[in-house]
Amino acid sequence: MPKPRIDPVRWQPPGSRPLPPPDATPELRLVEIPGTAPEDVVAAADGSIWTGVEDGRIIAVDPAGGAARVVTNTGGRPLGLAFTRDHRLLICDSHRGLLRYDPQTEQLETLVGEVNGRPLTFCSNAVESSDGTIYFTESTSRFHYEHYKGSVIEARGSGSLMQRSPDGTVSVLATGLHFANGVTLTADESAVVFAESTGRRLSKYWLTGSRHGSITALVEELPGHPDNISTGADGRIWVAMVSDRNALSDWLSPRAPILRRMMWRLLPYRWLPDPTPVVWVVGFDADDGRVLAQYRTEHPDFGLATGVVEADGRLWMGRIAGPGLAYFRL
């Protein structure tokens, strides 16, 4: 697939503050599934674990025996997933927008295909509140998933946080985000927490109280790139850290745009800066951003964790650029 053009800007990446030492990581268990790059993982009401792979299929996994079944196919590239109050599945698809699948009727519908007259280009993650409002992110308005490196090299804040009201009205809550990614609600639904992968931070968009409609930082200057996030059983915010910071990307971003244009035009896509494989999940306090738990390890058959969900005493992880899911017991 030919690379689209990029329009780089000078941008100074955030600094980096170390996290406390990791906890002892339990034994990592791998679960095979049909397909590759299961980006996100969510838990259904019956305990099954759902994910989406790069050829468009949505897959449900029995956590007891590991048996997997194909549920549907979006025809695009499913990324972030979330179950609604009535057990339907929200699917962020990089090519088709924000979708919803009903397991009872097996109907797949498009909820948001465009925003303000333009196609929703890189729908990344979504969550539904108790009143039926859906909050979702767009990582970048300029590239699809297949060329996500373009957004990294361009260093332009082209991501957004959006809202779909129960009546179908779509509003843009925040723009200029640096690769907006995971999104979840605090346990009391006082705020939406969202991640910026290249911005290396977690922020809160306030839904209640005197700060309603404002954004405050929860965690900044992370030493790596946060991807999808979820809310744990005790209200903590679980964050899949896809990789450490990339020194080459950090060096390039503040420099002359022409250098990055030449790299993008001349180098094969696979030669452009890549994330480094690691198995890394951090649990943050939803109020003050303290680290409550951190698990980090390396595994020859699993890495680049991009999705995380706590379910039945296990922490499940999805990934990019490889096959299978993984979990360990908490």
Per-residue confidence (pLDDT) for residue 25, from 0 to 100: 87
Per-residue confidence (pLDDT) for residue 66, from 0 to 100: 79
Its pTM stands at 0.97
Mean pLDDT of 200-207: 98
Estimate the share of the chain in helix, then strand, then coil, as percent rounded to the nearest 5: 10, 45, 45
* C-beta neighbour count of 62 within 10 angstroms: 14
Residue 238 pLDDT exceeds 80: yes
Per-residue confidence (pLDDT) for residue 60, from 0 to 100: 98
Residue 318 pLDDT exceeds 80: yes
316 vs 25, residue with greater confidence: 316
Residue 147 pLDDT exceeds 90: yes
Superfamily in which the 29-329 domain is placed by CATH: TolB, C-terminal domain (2.120.10.30)
Residue 1 pLDDT exceeds 80: no
Q: Read off the DSSP letter of residue 28.
A: P
* Domain range list for the chain: 29-329
CA distances from 330 to 282, 303, 319 (A): 13, 19, 19
